């Protein structure tokens, strides 16, 4: 997308942003704006809610009604917004720690309710803003500021978690696969029900530097080289899938019960 | 004039509901009323007690300090509550469960409330309504029709007849108790 | 006695819900917890009938968050809880204060700390209600002492929240919440009109969401109104954009504080009972005030002049009136169902004008008026004996540190 097309979606006076050079979050936000542009959305009818962390900072630059809330609680705030004004589209931007560690309870219960929100998780496997600590999606073996000898514990698979908890649109892509990402965003936002897009993003500053990928290009190439489409992944053994990023639509959006639109009885 | 009524027994006996009904009857009669309760974490069993304060004027302290009227429907409640009864007050014991009581400076009535509910009405769960009938007759606290009206306004439609009979059975048992006392 | 046809027997928690709906509450989010649960249950039944929304959230953190989201989107919103849930809500209460999102939080106090006694009354959350969330922050704390006040103060809580864009805590206790009283509750008898939040009078392009009017309160555009509002918990400038500039930090923190402090006369309220000629003043709030007021009745019967000063707003505190009362009294007794919380505020505000002694009653029940009177009499005796105020102050401190000091001697508690 050309900068000129993006401008109307940005509070340009608030730029430059705080993200480091080479950060994946700007790429992901650009794909989100591309999705908005293709959808021809009414900017006054979209509310963007976020929590705390690098990913959540995005709302401060976006020219929409927005709430930059507390760490982990974005989905719960967004639930209130949606129920108060069901006609608004509510998009929730979170990081992996924000959305799935401190906010994990709200995440699974939003999925259970199938409430009509779009949860976008900018997943860089690290707590970037606080300087690179272990997150719930840090791969086994990765070095972080709080796992200096390598992470021993299994990470969450956000898409499996969302699917198991009842989300009715679930997809994953990466900041390398920008066109696919924008397409998934568009489908997620158009979907009525709880939609989740797990965006594999890169943090060269706090993750890459500790894991032999200090150059942002290394990290994007890691995304490119390890991404496997869902259909292909289904043919592979767990052993063969180790270290891979399975991209695709895990729940295709055809099964929402519509309970969470905000204008009917609630579960 | 301030009157304090305390109903105490075991959770599940319906004494809090009985207190609410008593309070509603007093409210409909235009009195100032305060009703409170203490209970444990159990939905059934455990101790349960309820106070109703009735006054013609504004009620400052909403709980019972020294009850004028005390109904006890379990042994434990009798042990705990009887010492707090105002001297010269009215004590009503469900003799189904309260077999003996410490000496009390009170007008004491032993009425087999739960047994009446079980034997005459076939349902021990209406013992609380029997108790209200007993209380109404023994104390003259509120008009019978006000109390009976409050009972019927609170209970489900299909149990109205049962509850009407339970209230009447309580009134009759109290009349009998008074006769026994007078002839004794 | 003439029967009043409008008089009903209503429980405190029920009156709270009626007051909220009267004030315009149309959104409730909560999580079940004794002794506040009736509020959630009633909201789930009553809100749909008035076009409102109820949701049971996954925890109290989510409950207050959903309330703030709904309020930012234009709904008058409330949650209710008790101690453990109130603790969980603290962070987002701070967010409400910082982002200036109106909300009402009902805390029905039970015996703490931790799980404590779920069904027993206490007043141990006074300090938390006022100072609970981190950082200096504005909050209004109201203390109801009757079922009728549960109705009126809940409605007033919404008014204050909307007028000043602050979180308002209705700090009830188990006694008042579960008490049923004969009351007449209707909108017509509310002693104040219902307040709506102030909307922007400028176009979206000119709107600065955190630029305050002369009263210290910025007009509020709701999400979805086309103003591209931006809420954040970060220190922010008038446009709502985060800032770390010292002058921005200073002016925001001071404005948030001053919008309540400068309007304290309008907010602070109290009840005085036999205060004018009282030689001993009891400062009591919530259900404890009922015991204190009854103690003045017992005192009168014995020819003693006892008065009660009942703060209705625990924060901001009606301090001018308290100072006036303190200047006339021989001593002040502050009975509380905690180890001495508001007594510290009373001591600070009266600044030595008369001895102030706390009495702690932490047995998970309301003391009887007789017990309160006994403490009052002991204080009057002690005040005569200890002519040196410093000596008495030492006694007072001792009593606060070891609050059962009197009780143990007298009742072997």
Task: With respect to residue C228, please indicate whether it lies within any of the assigned structural domains.
Answer: no
Closest Cβ–Cβ partner in C182, C291, C366 for B27 = C182
Q: Do B63 and C366 touch (CB under 8 A)?
A: yes
Give pTM, 2 decimals: 0.95
C406 vs A45, more confident? A45
Backbone φ, ψ for residue C96 (5° rounding): -60, -40
Task: With respect to residue C248, please indicate whether it lies within any of the assigned structural domains.
Answer: no
Is residue C161 within 8 A of residue C168, CB to CB? The reply is: yes
> Domains in chain C: how many in total?
2
C285 at interface of A, judged by CB pairs closer than 8 A: no
Closest Cβ–Cβ partner in A43, A45, A80 for C68 = A80
How confident is residue C388, by pLDDT bands cut at 50, 70 and 90?
A: low
Q: Which residues of B touch C (CB under 8 A)?
A: 20, 23-24, 26-41, 56, 59-63, 65
Whether residue A4 is predicted with pLDDT greater than 70 in this model: the reply is no
How confident is residue A267, by pLDDT bands cut at 50, 70 and 90?
A: very low
Residues C32 and C173 in one domain: yes
Q: Do A45 and C224 touch (CB under 8 A)?
A: yes
Residues C46 and C178 in one domain: yes
Q: Do B61 and C365 touch (CB under 8 A)?
A: no
How confident is residue A254, by pLDDT bands cut at 50, 70 and 90?
A: confident
Is residue B22 within 8 A of residue B132, CB to CB? The reply is: yes
| Distance of residue C165 Cα from the nearest chain B Cα, in angstroms | 35
Measured at the CA of A109, the angle between CA A115 and CA C115, to 5 degrees, comes to: 135
Task: With respect to residue C318, please indicate whether it lies within any of the assigned structural domains.
Answer: yes
Structural domains of chain B sorted by starting position, each given as residue range(s) with its CATH number in brackets: 3-183 (3.40.920.10)
A93 at interface of C, judged by CB pairs closer than 8 A: no
Q: Do A60 and C74 touch (CB under 8 A)?
A: no
Lowest mean pLDDT, pick from A253-257, C251-255, C360-364 = A253-257
> What pLDDT was estimated at residue C379?
85
Which residues of chain B make contact with C179, given a CB cutoff of 8 A? 34-36, 62
Q: Do B31 and C118 touch (CB under 8 A)?
A: no
Question: Could you tell me which chains touch chain A, where touching means 3 or more CB pairs under 8 A?
Answer: C
| Nearest-angstrom CA–CA distance, C228 and A64 | 5
Residues C58 and C161 in one domain: yes
Continuous segment of H or E residues that includes residue C13: helix C12-23
Q: Is B156 helix (H, G, I), strand (E, B) or coil?
A: coil
Which residues of chain B make contact with C175, given a CB cutoff of 8 A? 36, 62-63
> In terms of Cα–Cα distance, which of B127, B162, B131, B163 is closest to B148?
B163
| Distance of residue C335 Cα from the nearest chain A Cα, in angstroms | 38
> In terms of Cα–Cα distance, which of B14, B140, B145, B155 is closest to B69?
B140
**Which ranges in chain B belong to alpha helices (H)?**
15-28, 75-81, 113-121, 127-139, 144-154, 160-183
Q: What integer best gives the mean pLDDT of chain A?
A: 94
What CATH number has the domain bearing residue C316? 3.40.50.920
Q: C185, C208, C243: which is the final residue of a domain?
A: C185
Whether residue C44 is predicted with pLDDT greater than 90 in this model: the reply is yes
Backbone φ, ψ for residue A109 (5° rounding): -75, -30
C residues 71..90 contacting A (CB < 8 A): 71-75, 77
Q: How many residues does chain A have?
A: 267
Q: Which residue of C has its CA nearest to B48?
A: C119
Taking the alpha carbons at both ends of chain B, their separation in whole angstroms is: 32
Closest Cβ–Cβ partner in A52, A67, A105 for C58 = A105
Query: Using alpha carbons only, how large is chain B's radius of gyration in Å?
Result: 15
| Distance of residue A162 Cα from the nearest chain C Cα, in angstroms | 16
Average pLDDT over residues C330-345: 94
Q: Which residue of A has its CA nearest to C60?
A: A76
> What pLDDT was estimated at residue B179?
87
CB pairs under 8 A between A and C: 131
Question: How is residue C233 written in tokens?
Answer: 């918990």
Continuous segment of H or E residues that includes residue C342: helix C342-350
| Distance of residue C120 Cα from the nearest chain B Cα, in angstroms | 8
For the segment A203-247, what is each residue's pLDDT rounded down to a tens digit?
A: 999 999 999 999 999 999 999 999 999 999 999 999 999 999 999
Residue spans per domain, chain A: 19-252
Which residues of chain C make contact with B30, given a CB cutoff of 8 A? 1-4, 7
**CATH top-level class of A19-252:** alpha beta
Q: Do C224 and A66 touch (CB under 8 A)?
A: no
For the segment A28-41, what is each residue's pLDDT rounded down to a tens digit?
A: 999 999 999 999 99
A106 at interface of C, judged by CB pairs closer than 8 A: yes
> In terms of Cα–Cα distance, which of C21, C44, C75, C286 is closest to C169?
C286
| Nearest-angstrom CA–CA distance, B124 and C137 | 56
What CATH number has the domain bearing residue C64? 3.40.50.970
Whether residue C392 is predicted with pLDDT greater than 90 in this model: the reply is no
Q: What integer best gives the mean pLDDT of chain B?
A: 94
Q: Do B35 and C294 touch (CB under 8 A)?
A: no
Residues C281 and C172 in one domain: no
| Nearest-angstrom CA–CA distance, A129 and A121 | 15
Residues C329 and C181 in one domain: no
C-alpha to C-alpha distances, A164 to A111, A112, C296, nearest whole angstrom: 9, 9, 63
Task: With respect to residue C322, please indicate whether it lies within any of the assigned structural domains.
Answer: yes
DSSP string over C121-138: E--TTHHHHHH-SSSS--
Percentages helix, strand, coil for chain C (3-state, rounded to 5) are: 45, 20, 35
> What pLDDT was estimated at residue C383?
77
Is residue A2 within 8 A of residue A153, CB to CB? The reply is: no
Is residue A224 within 8 A of residue A74, CB to CB? The reply is: no
How confident is residue C412, by pLDDT bands cut at 50, 70 and 90?
A: very low
Q: Is C47 helix (H, G, I), strand (E, B) or coil?
A: coil
Average pLDDT over residues C226-251: 96
Which residues of chain C make contact with A105, given a CB cutoff of 8 A? 58-59, 62
Closest Cβ–Cβ partner in A63, A85, A88 for C228 = A63
What is the residue range of C381's domain?
A: 269-411
C27 at interface of A, judged by CB pairs closer than 8 A: yes
Backbone φ, ψ for residue C123 (5° rounding): -130, 35
Task: With respect to residue C207, please indicate whether it lies within any of the assigned structural domains.
Answer: no
> What pLDDT was estimated at residue A260?
55
> Can chain B be said to touch chain A, i.e. do they have 3 or more Cβ pairs within 8 angstroms?
no
Work out the angle between the directed axes of helices B113-121 and B127-139 (0-180°, nearest 10).
120
> What pLDDT was estimated at residue A183?
98
For the segment C104-117, what is each residue's pLDDT rounded down to a tens digit?
A: 999 999 999 999 99
Which residues of chain C make contact with B28, given a CB cutoff of 8 A? 3, 7
> In terms of Cα–Cα distance, which of C287, C309, C305, C288 is closest to C296?
C305
Q: Is B123 helix (H, G, I), strand (E, B) or coil?
A: coil
| The three-state (H, E, C) secondary structure of chain A, written as one string | CCHHHHHHHECHHHCCCCCCCCCCHHHHHHHHHHHHHHHCCCHHHEEEEECCCCHHHHHHHECCEEEECCCCCHHHHHHHHHHHCCCCEEEEEEEHHHHHCCCHHHHHHHHHHCECCEEEEEECCEECCCCCEECCCCCCCCCECCECCCCCCCCCCHHHHHHHHCCCEEEEEECCCHHHHHHHHHHHHHCCCCEEEEEECCCHHHHHHHHCCCCHHHHHHHHHHHEEEHHHHCCCCHHHHCCCEEEEEEEECCCCCCCECCCCCCC
Is residue C129 within 8 A of residue C315, CB to CB? The reply is: yes
Q: C150, C185, C220: which is the final residue of a domain?
A: C185
Residues C23 and C172 in one domain: yes
Backbone φ, ψ for residue B99 (5° rounding): -90, -35
Residues C302 and C399 in one domain: yes
C70 at interface of A, judged by CB pairs closer than 8 A: yes
Is residue A121 within 8 A of residue A96, CB to CB? The reply is: yes
Which residues of chain A make contact with C63, given a CB cutoff of 8 A? 76
Residues C179 and C273 in one domain: no
Average pLDDT over residues C250-271: 97
Backbone φ, ψ for residue C354 (5° rounding): -155, 160
For the segment A162-210, what is each residue's pLDDT rounded down to a tens digit?
A: 999 999 999 999 999 999 999 999 999 999 999 999 999 999 999 999 9
Average pLDDT over residues B23-52: 88
Q: C158, C185, C212: which is the final residue of a domain?
A: C185
A104 at interface of C, judged by CB pairs closer than 8 A: no
For the segment C117-170, what is each residue's pLDDT rounded down to a tens digit?
A: 999 999 999 999 999 999 999 999 999 999 999 999 999 999 999 999 999 999
Q: Strand pairing partners for B16?
A: none
Query: Using alpha carbons only, how large is chain A's radius of gyration in Å?
Result: 17
Question: How is residue C224 written in tokens?
Answer: 């979805």
> What pLDDT was estimated at residue A98?
98
Closest Cβ–Cβ partner in B31, B37, B38 for C182 = B31
Task: Write the CB contacts of A90 (distance below 8 Å, at least 6 apart in sequence).
Answer: A46, A47, A48, A49, A78, A81, A82, A116, A117, A118
């Amino acid at each position: 997308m050309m900068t000129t097309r993006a401008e109307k979606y940005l509070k340009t006076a608030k730029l430059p942003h705080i993200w480091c050079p080479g950060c994946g979050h700007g790429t992901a936000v650009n794909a989100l704006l591309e999705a908005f542009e293709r959808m021809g959305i009414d900017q006054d009818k979209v509310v963007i809610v976020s929590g705390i962390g690098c990913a959540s900072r995005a709302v401060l630059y976006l020219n929409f009604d927005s709430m930059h809330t507390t760490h982990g609680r974005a989905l719960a705030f967004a639930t209130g917004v949606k129920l108060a004004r069901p006609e608004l589209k509510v998009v929730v931007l979170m990081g992996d720690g924000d959305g799935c560690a401190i906010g994990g309870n709200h995440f699974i219960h939003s999925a259970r309710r199938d409430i009509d929100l779009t949860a976008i998780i900018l997943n860089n496997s690290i707590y970037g803003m606080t300087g690179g600590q272990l997150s719930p999606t840090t791969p086994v073996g990765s070095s972080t500021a709080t796992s200096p000898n390598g992470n021993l514990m299994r990470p969450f698979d956000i898409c499996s978690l969302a699917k198991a908890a009842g989300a009715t649109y679930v997809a994953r892509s990466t900041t390398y696969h920008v066109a696919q990402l924008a397409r998934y965003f568009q489908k997620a936002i158009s979907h009525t029900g709880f939609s989740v897009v797990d965006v594999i993003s890169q943090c060269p500053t706090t993750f890459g530097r500790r894991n032999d990928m200090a150059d942002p290009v290394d990290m994007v190439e890691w995304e490119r080289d390890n991404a496997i489409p869902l259909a292909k992944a289904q043919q592979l053994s767990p052993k063969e899938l180790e270290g891979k990023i399975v991209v695709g639509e895990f729940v295709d959006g055809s099964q929402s019960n519509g309970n969470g639109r905000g204008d009917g009885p609630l579960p | 004039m301030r009157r304090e009524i305390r109903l105490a027994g075991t959770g599940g006996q319906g004494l809090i509901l009985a207190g609410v009904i008593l309070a509603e009857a007093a409210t409909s009669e235009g009195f100032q009323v305060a009703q409170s309760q203490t209970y444990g974490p159990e939905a059934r069993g455990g101790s349960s007690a309820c106070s109703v304060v009735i006054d013609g004027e504004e009620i400052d302290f909403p709980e019972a300090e020294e009850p004028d009227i005390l109904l006890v429907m379990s042994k434990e409640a009798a042990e705990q509550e009887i010492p707090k009864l105002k001297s010269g007050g009215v004590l009503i014991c469900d003799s189904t469960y309260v077999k003996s009581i410490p000496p009390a400076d009170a007008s004491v009535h032993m009425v087999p409330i739960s047994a009446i509910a079980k034997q005459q009405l076939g349902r021990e769960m209406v013992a609380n309504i029997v108790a209200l009938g007993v209380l109404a007759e023994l104390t003259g606290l509120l008009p019978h029709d006000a109390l009976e009206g409050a009972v019927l306004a609170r209970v489900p439609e299909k149990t109205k007849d049962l509850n009407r009979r339970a209230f009447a059975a309580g009134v009759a048992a109290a009349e009998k108790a008074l006769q026994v006392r007078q002839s004794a | 006695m003439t029967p009043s046809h409008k008089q009903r027997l209503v429980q405190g928690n029920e009156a709270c819900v009626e007051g909220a709906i009267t004030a315009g509450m149309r959104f409730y989010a909560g999580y079940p917890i004794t002794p506040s649960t009736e509020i959630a249950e009633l909201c789930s039944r009553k809100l749909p009938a008035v076009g409102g929304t109820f949701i049971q959230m996954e925890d109290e953190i989510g409950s207050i968050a959903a309330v703030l989201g709904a309020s930012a989107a234009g709904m008058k919103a409330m949650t209710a809880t008790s101690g453990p849930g109130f603790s969980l809500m603290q962070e987002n209460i701070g967010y409400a204060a910082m982002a200036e999102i109106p909300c009402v939080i009902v805390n029905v106090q039970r015996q703490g700390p931790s799980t404590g006694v779920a069904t027993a009354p206490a007043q141990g959350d006074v300090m938390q209600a006022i100072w609970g969330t981190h950082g200096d922050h504005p909050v209004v704390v109201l203390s109801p002492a009757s079922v009728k006040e549960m109705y009126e103060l809940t409605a007033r809580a919404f008014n204050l929240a909307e007028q000043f864009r602050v979180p308002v805590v209705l700090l009830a206790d188990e006694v008042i919440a579960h008490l049923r009283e004969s009351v007449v509750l209707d909108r017509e008898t509310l002693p104040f009109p219902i307040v709506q939040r102030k909307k922007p009078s400028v176009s979206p392009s000119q709107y600065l969401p955190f630029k305050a009017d002369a009263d210290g309160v910025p007009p509020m555009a709701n999400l979805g109104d086309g103003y591209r509002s931006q809420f954040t918990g970060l220190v922010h400038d008038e446009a709502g954009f985060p800032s770390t500039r010292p002058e921005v930090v200073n002016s925001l923190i001071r404005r948030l504080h001053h919008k309540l402090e400068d309007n304290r006369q309008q907010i602070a309220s109290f009840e005085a009972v036999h205060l004018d000629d009282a030689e001993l003043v009891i400062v009591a709030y919530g259900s404890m005030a009922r015991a204190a007021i009854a103690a003045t009745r017992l005192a009168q019967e014995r020819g003693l002049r006892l008065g009660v000063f009942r703060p209705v707003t625990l924060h901001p505190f009606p301090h001018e009136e308290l100072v006036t009362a303190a200047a006339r009294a021989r001593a002040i007794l502050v009975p509380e169902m905690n180890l001495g919380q508001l007594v510290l505020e009373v001591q600070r505000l009266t600044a030595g004008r008369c001895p102030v002694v706390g009495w702690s009653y932490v047995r998970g029940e309301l003391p009887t008026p007789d017990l309160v009177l006994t403490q009052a009499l002991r204080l009057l005796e002690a005040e005569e004996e200890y002519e040196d105020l410093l000596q008495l102050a030492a006694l007072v401190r001792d009593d606060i540190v070891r609050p059962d000091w009197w009780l143990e001697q007298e009742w072997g508690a």
